[in-house]
Amino acid sequence: MTTDNADIARKPALQKPLAVMLFGAPGSGKGTTGKMLTKLTGWPHLATGDLLREQITRKTSLGLEMQSILAAGQLAPDDLVSRMVGDRLGWSDCEAGFLLDGFPRTIPQAEGLAQWFSGRNFRPVLIHLWVEYNEILRRLTGRRTCSNCGAIYHLESTPSQVPDVCDNDGAALTVRADDKEEVVLQRLQTYQTQTWPVAETLRKNGILVEAIECGEMDPESVADRIRWRLDRIGGSIAKKNKPE
Ligand code: ADP
């Protein structure tokens, strides 16, 4: 085999598609960053919170069951969320790489996902978005979300041009039911007790964990920093399947 052929043969192993898990406290910017990275990479952005809220909006039986759980700042059952994610990861648009946002969020979810990865040709990376506690509170209580397209605004740092109206589509901006102050505190507690240990569980399963301190950074800089880290890791995120 010539050197060239040997290089080509090695290439698939070196350039496994990346599977990026965006990890961090509520309000750390997983949703905003995920949307930006999707534009950069063309990979699907699979946000379990969005998938669950979609079920609630559509008033499916699952949505009706989940409504009170989300409104109380608690977590949806592991088997249900894991099945929902597992089904979605089977779609062909995930083959070239994907972004998970808000999953895994418990140790059983993390163990299940690590097992899923072990039989597949992905390079999994957990990106931990670190933000200081007071900044998290400020972000969550000022957050507004478009009821139609899901765009995220903040009353002070990224307001819409017209108050309470989305810049993209003119739909009304709403406060997510779980962004009310008492629910925010419950979500942060849930994060501390159930989600925080997930990074360590994945690390022990041989999954790369990268932390980014992003409390002071604007969303574009966070997305750039992640892109740079992913490029360095080796699974290039050049726009292989560039979106329009
Ligand atoms: P945030 O990260 O800001 O809390 P999300 O949109 O990711 O927002 O999640 C909103 C809610 O959806 C969570 O508080 C939880 O009730 C539910 N949820 C999202 N992801 C999961 C998950 N992986 N497991 C269980 N529940 C989840």
Place of tokens 């629910």: 183
In sequence order, the 6+-apart residues with CB closer than 8 A to the CB of 216 are none
Measured in Å, residue 110 CA sits from the centre of ligand 1 at 14
What are the chain's domains? 19-132+195-233 (3.40.50.300)
Examine the residue annotation and report whether 144 is marked as an active-site residue of this protein: no
Ligand 1 close to Cβ of residue 52 (< 6 A): yes
Decide if pLDDT at 2 tops 70.
Answer: no
Examine the residue annotation and report whether 88 is marked as an active-site residue of this protein: no
Examine the residue annotation and report whether 176 is marked as an active-site residue of this protein: yes
Measured from the Cβ of residue 189, the count of other Cβ atoms closer than 10 Å reads 11
Measured in Å, residue 44 CA sits from the centre of ligand 1 at 18
Core vs surface per residue 51-87: b (16+ CB within 10 A) or e: bbbebbeeeeebbeebbeebeebebbebeebbebbee
Measured in Å, residue 50 CA sits from the centre of ligand 1 at 8
pLDDT tens figures, 133-190: 989 988 998 999 998 998 989 998 889 999 999 999 999 999 988 888 889 999 999 9
Max Cα-Cα span within the chain: 65
In sequence order, the 6+-apart residues with CB closer than 8 A to the CB of 120 are none
Counting from 1 in the atom list of ligand 1, the atom nearest the Cα of 191 is: 4
Counting from 1 in the atom list of ligand 1, the atom nearest the Cα of 105 is: 23
Atom 1 of ligand 1, nearest CA residue: 26
Ligand 1 close to Cβ of residue 103 (< 6 A): yes
Counting from 1 in the atom list of ligand 1, the atom nearest the Cα of 75 is: 26
- In this prediction, residue 14 carries a pLDDT of 57
Measured in Å, residue 78 CA sits from the centre of ligand 1 at 11
Measured in Å, residue 68 CA sits from the centre of ligand 1 at 13
pLDDT tens figures, 78-128: 999 999 999 999 999 999 999 999 999 999 999 999 999 998 989 999 999
The catalytic residue among 138, 176, 180, 227 is: 176
Examine the residue annotation and report whether 143 is marked as an active-site residue of this protein: yes
The catalytic residue among 53, 123, 143, 225 is: 143
Single pTM value for the model: 0.85
Rounded Cα–Cα distance for residues 95 and 90 (Å)? 8
Report cis status (omega within 30 of 0) of the bond before 159. no
- In this prediction, residue 216 carries a pLDDT of 82
